Chains A and B, each alone.
Chain A
Amino acid sequence: MSSAVTQTGAGADGAQRTLLRTKVEAAASTYQEVAGWEEVAAHAASLGQRVAIAPSLHAALPSLAAMLEGHGRTVVVPGEDDPAADVADVPVAIVAGAMAVAETGSVLVSEHELRDRVVTMLCQRLLQVVAADDVVDRLEDAAAWLAPRGGQAGFASLMTGPSRTADIERSLTIGVQGPDEVDVLVLTGADAAAEESTS
């Protein structure tokens, strides 16, 4: 997909990504810019022996699995039958975001099927990958992505940081039913385009 924002030049992009970084970090995620998918794979490989790839990302970018295997990692792509069981103990997962919203540091992830959703729900550490071109300014840009998809079955989430609660004495605790850790990776290199077709 392409974002709802028009290109405003490198300077504006820089400011937008600086804001994105600030907001992502404020939400207790990490932020990094990477040249391409090879760097994503290397980062994931450094975090665990088994790595889950969201099925929709795997379908759009089958080479990612090979990159991970090149690092000696076991790749898990949850299947139709019992996707939750497939990813139950996987420590690291990779998902592609449709866009990242600088205003809030959120990544919009579209995941209609259960086997996509288990990846973002059940893994402990989640890598959210977004192409630099898909970094947008405002929540309204996310609304503009959602609006034409109205009336058709779908599920999309603005994800902002790791899961958390403050239900006990308002004390902030990270990691409840969702991931404990989230890394936002922005693809700045040429092969960012390869990711376009995934979302």
Chain B
Amino acid sequence: MSELRSFDERYATALADPDVRGGLTAFQRGWRDSRDAAIADLEAQEGRSFDELRAELAAIKDGVLADWEHHLDSFTDNATAAGAEVVRVATPGEANALITARMQAAGADLMVKGKSMVSEEIGLNGHLEAAGIPPVETDLGEWILQLAAETPSHLVMPAIHKRKEVIAELFERVLKRPFPPDDIDRMVKVARTELRERFLASSVGLSGANALIAEGGSIMLVCNEGNNRMSVALPKLHVVTAGIEKLIPTYADAMKQVRLLGRSATGQPITVYTNFLTGPRPGQEQLIILLDNGRTAMAEDPDVAAALRCIRCGACADVCPPYGVVGGHAFGHVYTGAIGLVNTSFHHGIEAAAGPQSLCVSCGACATVCPVDIPLPVQILEVRENVARAGEAGNAGRVTRLALRAFQHPRLVDLGMRAVGVATTPVRRGGVTALPSALTARGPLAERIGWRTPPAVPPRPARDTLRRGRLEEPPRLADQPLAGRKVQLFLQCVSDRMAPDIPIAAAKLLRAAGAQVTVPRDQHCCGLPAYDSGEQDTAKSMVRQTMEALADGADVVTPASSCLAMLGHDAPYLLRDDLAEVERAQELAGRTYDLISYLTSGPGRLPAGSLDDGDRTPVTVHRFCQASNTLGRTDAIEAFLRDVAGVPVVPLPEASECCGFGGSTSVRNPELSAGILDRKLGCVDQTASSVLITDNPGCILHLRGGVHASGREVEVLHLAEYLVRRLPGATASPQER
């Protein structure tokens, strides 16, 4: 097995391989369909929701953590009674030395391995090779990777980054006979013939463990291929490598894990083999190595302890948009996907965690599918803060940090943005900045900037237009749910400065519904960009500034759902060290809405048909990822457009998937962001709609830039921009530039 290369190299390799993205997108889509169907079946079978079921399993795993030593002892006692030898080790070095010594003592010259992530974690293969005892991987995917001298790119589907053509070529090269790429069956069957002799000849077999059952000292080991059963049965010595977090109290608890594991991993109700091994078979020895390697430290850190619930199903990678572009070799270290962004720093050090961290777009999708309900997005941001603190993120990190710290100062931002607005007047073209084609068409910069036309910076921010008395009185709706109600408009920094039409449209709508709209002067930025970048101190100070600016007890409405994610969801957590601040944050959260919630379920609820005058061209809707994944909003915009505006809505495939904007990701890893955007725009193409509606300004600028750069004919609009066109007496396109 090859050593892990540097992150930059892994990232560049992944981007350069067109197969990676195409294959992974297909994989993620296929997984989603089977997983969703399997979970729906389970919910029907159990008469309980996925959330209830996963909360139950999470509580079982948390219970183990609360009384870890007791469960460890009980597992050890029972396994020992059944004839196993149980050894606890603190470091990978100890584990490797122990295994190597045992093998040498037994005179073993070959090890057959079932799939074990812990063996990858400790780098066992390299050690055995150095000791002259070659290990043979027996899981088909792992075997393919061993032949290719690669590491797994997924917890469950290790070779999913490889297309069948590549595998056929590999087999031809190594096995020296032809393999037609379309004959997958033949490629699978060759594993049986090639590996059977090894199974029979090997005196040592290694496996991982999916669970360590404390009440009986049993190892639960699942597999589909049957290779694991052979590698634990045939050799004279069976070595188990497992992390100490795999403990589960009882067999009945293990069955709850079974119900969620197969469905989350591959969409199967249960794997083909779910084996319970208690001690060695007659004539065999069993050595169980329980590895710590940072797990105790995780358990002691309340910010990440819940990550020890992980059952290694891989679901958090299967829904991850950046993973879908670059795969697990870049998105992760040894452990891939969202969980890898959390546990890598504990198992392999902060340096190993830094690179992959920068790829996460904070879309929150991972948390929606994790079968043990790990708050992955929050934990990722905790680790990111540590990474930022350790200063390991390189120059890009330093630049981001300085920019974010400067961004804290409203005066500075105000002056700077106005200056940019004036300076860029000559290249401003209808909402975008026209870059010279010499820059975007080819050359070194093309790939980094050519895929998305940058937004225009207008000379005047929205706050100027919205100053009292400047905005002409808009036409009123027949229904006035907000009559006499005061609403503070939170502009959001991005739209205030770069897309003023959005908050202006929002103000008009709210006034049309009867509200008395004010724009508090001292508002600036909710702190989300800083929080997403691991700059928690900066983020906190911006939240405080915002709480101050919005202290007047009136409703707060923002056209940016991202600010609601921050003020309504993240802020109380971020300020958790100070109870008084938590209360203030909660008080603000309780009266803060994004526009769509305000108009559908909040005080501004508009009756059906209120805005049904106007264009009826079908539209499609992108659901802002954090609104879906973090705030739990589903089809509110679609329903509103249909019922209140009377417009046909064409469902957008993968509507809740991130568009690739993802805060600083699109600046730091533009190639990745471009890949995610491409998938999103491909879905928009499928709807054949010419109007794309969504409600987060960052996404809108990003999507507009992508539409413009790719020459598509799609108008990307904020919900408010779309709706003001339907106000009585509105002209078709009232926006000022």
Would you call A106 and B274 a contact (CB within 8 A)? yes
Would you call B225 and A169 a contact (CB within 8 A)? no
Query: How far, in whole Å, are A3 and B36 apart by their CA atoms in the complex?
Result: 33
Q: Closest approach, in angstroms, between the C-beta of A21 and any C-beta of chain B?
A: 15
Q: Kindly specify which of A31-39, A53-61, A66-74, A141-149 makes contact with the partner chain.
A: A141-149
Mask: chain B, 207-219; 1 = CB below 8 Å from A; 0 = not = 0000001011110
Chain B residue numbers with a CB within 8 Å of A160 are 269-274
Q: Which residue of A lies closest to B188 (CB)?
A: A173
Q: Does B93 contact A (CB under 8 A)?
A: no
Quick one: given A150-B213, A176-B225, are A157 and B281 in contact (CB under 8 Å)? no
Q: Closest approach, in angstroms, between the C-beta of A160 and any C-beta of chain B?
A: 5
Mask: chain B, 175-208; 1 = CB below 8 Å from A; 0 = not = 0000000001101110110011001100000000
Would you call B226 and A114 a contact (CB within 8 A)? no
Q: Does A10 contact B (CB under 8 A)?
A: no
Chain A residue numbers with a CB within 8 Å of B65 are none
Mask: chain A, 168-184; 1 = CB below 8 Å from B; 0 = not = 11110101111100000
Mask: chain A, 99-121; 1 = CB below 8 Å from B; 0 = not = 00001101000001110011011
Chain A residue numbers with a CB within 8 Å of B81 are 151-152
Q: Which one, A120, A147, A168, contacts B215 given CB within 8 A?
A: A147
Q: Closest approach, in angstroms, between the C-beta of B153 and any C-beta of chain A?
A: 12
Chain A residue numbers with a CB within 8 Å of B258 are 139
Mask: chain B, 270-283; 1 = CB below 8 Å from A; 0 = not = 11111111111111
Would you call B188 and A169 a contact (CB within 8 A)? no
Query: How far, in whole Å, are A82 and B616 apart by their CA atoms in the complex?
Result: 77
Q: Which one, B23, B188, B196, contacts A165 given CB within 8 A?
A: B188
Mask: chain B, 348-366; 1 = CB below 8 Å from A; 0 = not = 0000000000000000000
Q: Closest approach, in angstroms, between the C-beta of B160 and any C-beta of chain A?
A: 7
Residues in B269-325 with C-beta less than 8 Å from chain A: 269-284
Would you call A164 and B275 a contact (CB within 8 A)? no
Q: Which residue of B lies closest to A80 (CB)?
A: B283
Would you call B229 and A150 a contact (CB within 8 A)? no
Q: Does A90 contact B (CB under 8 A)?
A: no
Chain A residue numbers with a CB within 8 Å of B157 are 166-167, 170
Query: How far, in whole Å, are A118 and B159 apart by their CA atoms in the complex?
Result: 28
Chain A residue numbers with a CB within 8 Å of B195 are 177
Q: Closest approach, in angstroms, between the C-beta of B6 and any C-beta of chain A?
A: 27
Quick one: given A163-B272, A176-B225, are A170 and B164 in contact (CB under 8 Å)? no
Would you call A150 and B140 a contact (CB within 8 A)? no
Would you call A157 and B229 a contact (CB within 8 A)? yes
Q: Does A97 contact B (CB under 8 A)?
A: no
Chain B residue numbers with a CB within 8 Å of A157 are 229, 273-276
Query: How far, in whole Å, are A113 and B279 apart by their CA atoms in the complex?
Result: 12
Would you call B275 and A156 a contact (CB within 8 A)? yes
Would you call B83 and A143 a contact (CB within 8 A)? no
Q: Closest approach, in angstroms, between the C-beta of B340 and any C-beta of chain A?
A: 20
Q: Which one, B164, B252, B271, B284, contacts A143 given CB within 8 A?
A: B252
Q: Which residue of A lies closest to B282 (CB)?
A: A113
Q: Does B234 contact A (CB under 8 A)?
A: yes
Q: Does B601 contact A (CB under 8 A)?
A: no
Q: Which residue of B lies closest to A167 (CB)?
A: B141
Tally of contact residues, B, Cβ under 8 A: 72
Q: Closest approach, in angstroms, between the C-beta of B601 and any C-beta of chain A?
A: 39
Q: Does A191 contact B (CB under 8 A)?
A: no
Query: How far, in whole Å, are A23 and B262 apart by their CA atoms in the complex?
Result: 15
Would you call B279 and A147 a contact (CB within 8 A)? no
Q: Does B167 contact A (CB under 8 A)?
A: yes
Query: How far, in whole Å, are A167 and B233 apart by their CA atoms in the complex?
Result: 23
Q: Does A185 contact B (CB under 8 A)?
A: no
Mask: chain A, 120-147; 1 = CB below 8 Å from B; 0 = not = 1100000000000000001110111011
Q: Does A48 contact B (CB under 8 A)?
A: no
Query: How far, in whole Å, are A163 and B213 apart by their CA atoms in the complex?
Result: 25
Would you call A167 and B281 a contact (CB within 8 A)? no
Q: Does B224 contact A (CB under 8 A)?
A: yes
Would you call B225 and A178 a contact (CB within 8 A)? yes
Q: Which residue of A lies closest to B279 (CB)?
A: A153
Quick one: given A153-B280, A157-B273, A168-B188, are A121 and B233 in contact (CB under 8 Å)? yes
Chain A residue numbers with a CB within 8 Å of B191 are 176-177
Query: How far, in whole Å, are A157 and B273 apart by their CA atoms in the complex?
Result: 6
Q: Does A158 contact B (CB under 8 A)?
A: yes
Q: Which one, B159, B218, B281, contacts A150 given CB within 8 A?
A: B218
Q: Does B27 contact A (CB under 8 A)?
A: yes
Query: How far, in whole Å, are A144 and B273 apart by their CA atoms in the complex?
Result: 18
Chain B residue numbers with a CB within 8 Å of A155 are 233, 275-278, 281
Would you call A178 and B229 a contact (CB within 8 A)? yes
Query: How far, in whole Å, are A158 and B187 apart by their CA atoms in the complex?
Result: 27
Q: Does B96 contact A (CB under 8 A)?
A: no
Quick one: given A151-B78, A165-B224, A168-B164, are A158 and B273 in contact (CB under 8 Å)? yes
Q: Which one, A144, A167, A178, contacts B272 given CB within 8 A?
A: A178
Would you call A114 and B215 a contact (CB within 8 A)? no
Mask: chain B, 19-55; 1 = CB below 8 Å from A; 0 = not = 0000100110011000000000000010000000000
Q: Which one, A84, A158, A170, A177, contacts B274 given CB within 8 A?
A: A158
Would you call A165 and B276 a contact (CB within 8 A)? no
Q: Does A77 contact B (CB under 8 A)?
A: no
Residues in B255-273 with C-beta less than 8 Å from chain A: 255, 258-259, 266, 269-273
Residues in B446-473 with C-beta less than 8 Å from chain A: none
Q: Which residue of B lies closest to A104 (CB)?
A: B270
Would you call A170 and B281 a contact (CB within 8 A)? no
Chain B residue numbers with a CB within 8 Å of A146 are 216, 218, 251, 276
Chain A residue numbers with a CB within 8 Å of B26 are 169-170
Query: How far, in whole Å, are A82 and B405 apart by their CA atoms in the complex?
Result: 71
Would you call A142 and B225 a contact (CB within 8 A)? no
Q: Does A161 contact B (CB under 8 A)?
A: yes
Q: Which residue of B lies closest to A164 (CB)?
A: B224
Q: Closest approach, in angstroms, between the C-beta of B715 and any C-beta of chain A?
A: 37
Would you call B192 and A176 a contact (CB within 8 A)? yes
Chain A residue numbers with a CB within 8 Å of B78 are 150-151
Would you call A165 and B251 a contact (CB within 8 A)? no
Chain B residue numbers with a CB within 8 Å of A78 are none
Would you call B224 and A152 a contact (CB within 8 A)? no
Chain A residue numbers with a CB within 8 Å of B270 are 104, 106, 139, 158, 160
Would you call A153 and B225 a contact (CB within 8 A)? no
Q: Which one, B140, B192, B282, contacts A168 given CB within 8 A?
A: B140
Q: Does A79 contact B (CB under 8 A)?
A: no
Q: Which one, A27, A112, A143, A178, contacts B251 given CB within 8 A?
A: A143
Chain A residue numbers with a CB within 8 Å of B229 are 117, 120-121, 157, 177-178
Would you call B31 and A114 a contact (CB within 8 A)? no
Q: Does B538 contact A (CB under 8 A)?
A: no
Would you call B226 and A176 a contact (CB within 8 A)? yes
Residue of A142, A159, A165, A177 with highest tally of chain B CB at under 10 A: A177
Would you call A143 and B139 a contact (CB within 8 A)? no
**Can you add 14 more A-B contacts, CB < 8 Å, to A26-B269, A167-B159?**
A84-B234, A143-B255, A147-B252, A151-B82, A158-B273, A164-B224, A167-B157, A167-B225, A168-B162, A169-B27, A169-B160, A173-B185, A176-B140, A177-B230
Partner-A contacts on B (CB < 8 A): 23, 26-27, 30-31, 45, 77-78, 81-83, 138-141, 144, 157-160, 162-164, 167, 184-185, 187-189, 191-192, 195-196, 199-200, 213, 215-218, 224-227, 229-230, 233-234, 250-252, 254-255, 258-259, 266, 269-284
5 closest Cβ pairs, A-B complex: A150-B216, A178-B226, A153-B279, A167-B141, A143-B251
A-B contact pairs, 14 of them (CB 8 A): A104-B269, A113-B282, A147-B215, A147-B216, A152-B82, A155-B275, A158-B273, A164-B272, A168-B159, A169-B164, A173-B185, A175-B192, A177-B196, A177-B226
